């Protein structure tokens, strides 16, 4: 019997978490081997490893405790990778040398697979004086462009590019340019952007007062606070960015407010961190802890939850000692505070199982009850660990117990902390769980509502063909296994497509009360929501105690929300009239093709490289069909032939093949790249990628440098929706599928699990 609840779960395990050698040889023969590998690695730091290894294995078994992907993939492998998910880098100095020192640190962190956050508020605004050089400053946005280019180049561990978060204070003189930066479709594509909103600013917004934009004590501009707020709101209403972080609340509620100041978060926002702050993540799968699901007496097993949380806290604390770190400063920060972030996934499924409708006051109360139980067990377990192993080095009993998030903690927990100290300064966080929720059988993600009860997924087979499979929500499958495949779902089964935005806010606020860090959550808004109602979502998030707010409103710019099917009826694999074509068999080569040949001269190379790209015409549109790469330099012969064959094979399969460009441009040569036409190119392969990209732009296949398809074939996708209409959505840059959706602040592919945020 397989342990996996759905085929997609086994596929995700095989792709993401199964240990394989560099040549593809499988080391983890089964998922039990993966659990054993992780349990053994995390028990190895214990004095009595033989006692703890089976307990750790039991927690992992049947997907009850889900360590974050970096732990599942990296623990016990012996590889030089970090097991931490989240990093905020050091404070950026307002000097050229300091800025580029920070850039180097970012590159080293991303190379090991860490997502990073930066506050760019510390860089002087554009036009400010630069002493000693008789020049004006270029401003923080210009340096963000440099970071963005670096991120495109670095390929992180596990073949994932890193993700980045950039924050800027709402009183920085360049804040308006920051808000509008990503409205240029070619700019800052590797960043998520969030504005650090202060309490005085929100009060000024409500009072319609003035607001000073200042740096280093100098006021550069004065604006109306409400006008600036509307500009932030308009940006996220139309472009889904920037997000909003209520930074004063974060610092006020921080357990460590006595020894750190926070000005940035990790890429998905659930971890506000100080300079060089690092945090690891894990999730309790609530969907596995419901007793008698869908019966009258259904309930979450709170005793089992308490026991599981205590084991999970111990495992995560051990990760601090077992992990490597890209930078020594990150290791010191992690060891000094031993910050961890235990959260949940499967919350919406668990609510369905106990008969509650997500988003209602009753469901919010249930959510708060469960999160309280997790927080209580987490803090008590960490206090007991402190008794056994010692408190975190910067623990100060009086100051710690006086911190914001401890004010409403149970008295017996506070007493235990007072007596023993606490092992981990912060303990709870709700992270994006898109991939691990699929690995756990497609449970609902984090504290999000069920996105869709079922959808059809196209799976690429080894022979190059694609088959269809239905991916069903875990709770829905359980319900139909229990009551019959044709059983009608009860009325309390709601999903993200039908929920009112304020119902999302209610659930986020309920969870936030017992989460000492923050929450990664997307509030889905209908396309036709009015601007005033949209602004009310953010105001309600602020007033109800949330630490941040991220929304997604589908429109022509952001793309449409994925339409989903509740049937798995097979449909043709060819769209009808769009320029993007998906076929099980390669496209046939016509007798004649249109094409262009480009000459590429690489510095210090004796012979030029000639690149010919031929296009096929489909539906009146040109799309790349084949590539030929030639050079008289015999040193290049083997790899140019291989590249020609591989790229051409990809092109002839159809679909959105623009990812080929990004993969080539990300290759860097350890011997160094070259400057071509005033731009640094990290390798010959990257230069070839640039030539192909130029051709695709000129022929209208992609919209511009660093972008995807010029025309999104939203109306011509080949799956049928439940109502017979055709779903809309953007193609995934990794697999080409049309299952992209906004999950916890990041566009994520339901087919392959790809997400910019990791």
Active site residues: 266, 268, 270
CA distances from 399 to 257, 291, 342, 403, 407 (A): 9, 40, 23, 6, 12
Cβ distance 145 to 188 under 8 Å? Answer: yes
Query: How far apart (Å, rounded) are the C-alpha atoms in residues 18 and 72?
Result: 8
Q: What is the DSSP string of 170-183?
A: TTSTTHHHHHHGGG
- Spell out the residues 6+ positions from residue 679 whose beta carbon is closer than 8 angstroms to its own: none
Sign of CA dihedral 150, 156, 161, 162: negative
Structure tokens belonging to residue 314: 């111990």
Cβ distance 341 to 485 under 8 Å? Answer: no
Query: How far apart (Å, rounded) are the C-alpha atoms in residues 738 and 754?
Result: 12
- Spell out the residues 6+ positions from residue 99 whose beta carbon is closer than 8 angstroms to its own: 92, 93, 123, 143
Structure tokens belonging to residue 335: 């060891």
Q: Residue 180: how many CB atoms within 10 A of its CB?
A: 17
Question: Phi and psi at residue 669, in whole multiples of 5°?
Answer: -95, 120
- C-alpha closest to that of 489 among 502, 506, 477, 497: 477
Q: What does the chain come to in residues? A: 758
H helix runs in 544-658, sequence order: 637-652
Reduced to 3 states, what is the DSSP secondary structure of residue 47? coil
129, exposed or middle or buried, with CB in 10 Å at 0-12, 13-18, 19+?
A: exposed
Q: Where are the beta strands (DSSP E) in 277-346?
A: 278-285, 290-291, 299-300, 340-345
- C-alpha closest to that of 542 among 293, 250, 750, 752: 250
CA atoms within 13 A on the CB side of 590: 11
Q: Cis before residue 242, ω within 30 degrees of 0? A: yes
Q: What is the DSSP string of 388-421?
A: HH---TT--HHHHHTSGGGTTS-HHHHHHHHHH-
- C-alpha closest to that of 322 among 92, 76, 152: 76
The 3-state DSSP composition of the chain as helix, strand, coil percent (nearest 5) reads 40, 20, 40
Query: How far apart (Å, rounded) are the C-alpha atoms in residues 183 and 555?
Result: 14
Say which residue the tokens 């927080």 belong to.
375
Q: Is 727 left (phi over 0), alpha (psi -120 to 50) or beta?
A: beta
Q: Residue 671: how many CB atoms within 10 A of its CB?
A: 6
Reduced to 3 states, what is the DSSP secondary structure of residue 76? coil
For residue 469, list its beta bridge partners.
Answer: 457
- Spell out the residues 6+ positions from residue 7 whose beta carbon is closer than 8 angstroms to its own: 459, 469
Q: Where are the beta strands (DSSP E) in 251-318?
A: 264-265, 272-273, 278-285, 290-291, 299-300
- C-alpha closest to that of 752 among 345, 435, 518, 401: 435
Query: How far apart (Å, rounded) are the C-alpha atoms in residues 657 and 652?
Result: 9
Query: How far apart (Å, rounded) are the C-alpha atoms in residues 394 and 12?
Result: 39
Cβ distance 694 to 686 under 8 Å? Answer: no
- C-alpha closest to that of 504 among 547, 550, 473: 550
């Amino acid at each position: 019997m397989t342990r996996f609840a759905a085929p997609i779960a086994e596929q995700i395990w095989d792709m993401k978490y199964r240990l394989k050698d560099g040549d593809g040889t499988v080391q983890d023969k089964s998922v039990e081997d993966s659990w054993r590998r992780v349990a053994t690695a995390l028990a190895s730091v214990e004095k009595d490893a033989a006692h703890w290894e089976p307990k750790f294995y039991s927690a992992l078994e049947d997907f009850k405790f889900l360590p974050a992907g970096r732990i599942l993939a990296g623990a016990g492998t012996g590889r030089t990778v970090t097991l931490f998910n989240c990093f905020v880098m050091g404070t950026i100095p307002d000097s050229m040398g300091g800025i580029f020192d920070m850039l180097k640190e970012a590159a080293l962190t991303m190379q090991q697979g860490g997502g990073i956050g930066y506050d760019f508020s510390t860089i002087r605004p554009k036009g400010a004086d630069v002493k000693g050089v008789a020049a004006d400053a270029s401003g923080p946005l210009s340096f963000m462009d440099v970071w963005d280019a670096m991120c495109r180049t670095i390929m992180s561990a596990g073949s994932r590019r890193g993700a980045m978060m950039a924050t800027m204070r709402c009183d920085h003189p360049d804040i308006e340019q920051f808000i509008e930066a990503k409205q240029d479709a070619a700019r800052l594509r590797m960043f998520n952007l969030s504005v650090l909103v202060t309490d005085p600013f929100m009060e000024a917004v409500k009072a319609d007062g003035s607001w000073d934009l200042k740096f280093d004590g100098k006021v550069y501009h004065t604006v109306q606070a409400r006008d600036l707020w509307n500009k932030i709101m308009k940006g996220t209403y139309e472009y889904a960015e920037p997000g909003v972080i209520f930074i004063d609340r974060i610092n006020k509620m921080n357990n460590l407010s006595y020894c750190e100041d926070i000005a940035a978060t990790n890429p998905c926002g659930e971890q506000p961190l100080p300079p060089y702050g690092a945090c690891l993540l894990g999730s309790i799968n609530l969907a596995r802890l419901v007793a008698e699901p869908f019966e009258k007496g259904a309930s979450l097993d709170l005793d089992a939850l308490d026991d599981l949380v205590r084991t999970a806290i111990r495992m995560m604390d051990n990760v601090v000692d077992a992990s490597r770190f890209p930078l020594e400063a990150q290791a010191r920060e992690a060891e000094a505070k031993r910050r961890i972030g235990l959260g949940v996934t499967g919350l919406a499924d668990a609510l369905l199982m106990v008969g509650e409708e997500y988003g209602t006051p009753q469901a919010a109360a249930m959510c708060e009850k469960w999160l309280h139980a997790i927080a209580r067990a987490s803090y008590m377990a960490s206090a007991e660990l402190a008794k056994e192993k010692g408190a975190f080095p910067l623990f100060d009993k009086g100051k710690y117990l006086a911190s914001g998030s401890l004010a409403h903690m149970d008295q017996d927990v506070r007493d235990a902390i007072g007596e023993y100290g606490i092992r981990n300064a912060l303990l709870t966080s709700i992270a994006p769980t898109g991939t691990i929720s699929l690995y756990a059988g497609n449970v609902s993600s984090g504290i999000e509502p069920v996105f869709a009860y079922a959808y059809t997924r196209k799976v690429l087979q080894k022979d190059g063909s694609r088959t269809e499979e239905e991916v069903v929500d875990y709770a829905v499958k359980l319900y139909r296994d229990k009551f019959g495949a044709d059983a009608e779902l009860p009325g309390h089964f709601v999903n993200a497509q039908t929920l009112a935005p304020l119902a999302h806010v209610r659930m986020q606020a309920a969870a936030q009360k017992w989460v000492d860090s923050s929450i990664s959550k997307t509030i889905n808004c209908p396309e036709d929501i009015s601007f005033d109602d949209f602004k009310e979502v953010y105001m309600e998030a602020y007033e109800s105690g949330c630490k941040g707010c991220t929304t997604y409103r589908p429109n022509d710019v952001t793309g449409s929300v994925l339409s989903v099917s509740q049937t798995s009826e097979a449909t043709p694999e060819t769209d009808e009239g769009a320029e993007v074509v998906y076929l099980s068999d390669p496209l046939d080569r016509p007798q004649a093709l249109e094409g262009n040949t480009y000459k590429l001269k690489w510095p210090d190379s004796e012979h030029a490289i000639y690149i010919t790209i031929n296009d096929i015409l489909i539906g009146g549109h040109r799309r790349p069909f084949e590539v030929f790469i030639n050079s008289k330099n015999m040193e290049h012969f083997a790899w140019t032939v291989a590249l020609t064959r591989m790229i051409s094979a990809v092109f002839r399969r159809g679909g959105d093949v623009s990812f080929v460009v990004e993969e080539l441009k990300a290759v860097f040569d350890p011997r160094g790249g070259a400057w071509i036409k005033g731009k640094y190119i990290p390798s010959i392969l990257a230069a070839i990628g640039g030539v192909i990209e130029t051709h695709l732009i000129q022929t209208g296949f992609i919209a511009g440098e660093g972008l995807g398809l010029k025309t999104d074939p939203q109306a011509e996708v080949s799956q049928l929706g439940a109502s017979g209409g055709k779903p809309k959505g953007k193609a995934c840059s990794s697999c080409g599928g049309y299952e992209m959706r906004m999950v916890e602040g990041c566009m994520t592919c339901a087919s392959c699990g790809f997400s910019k945020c990791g």
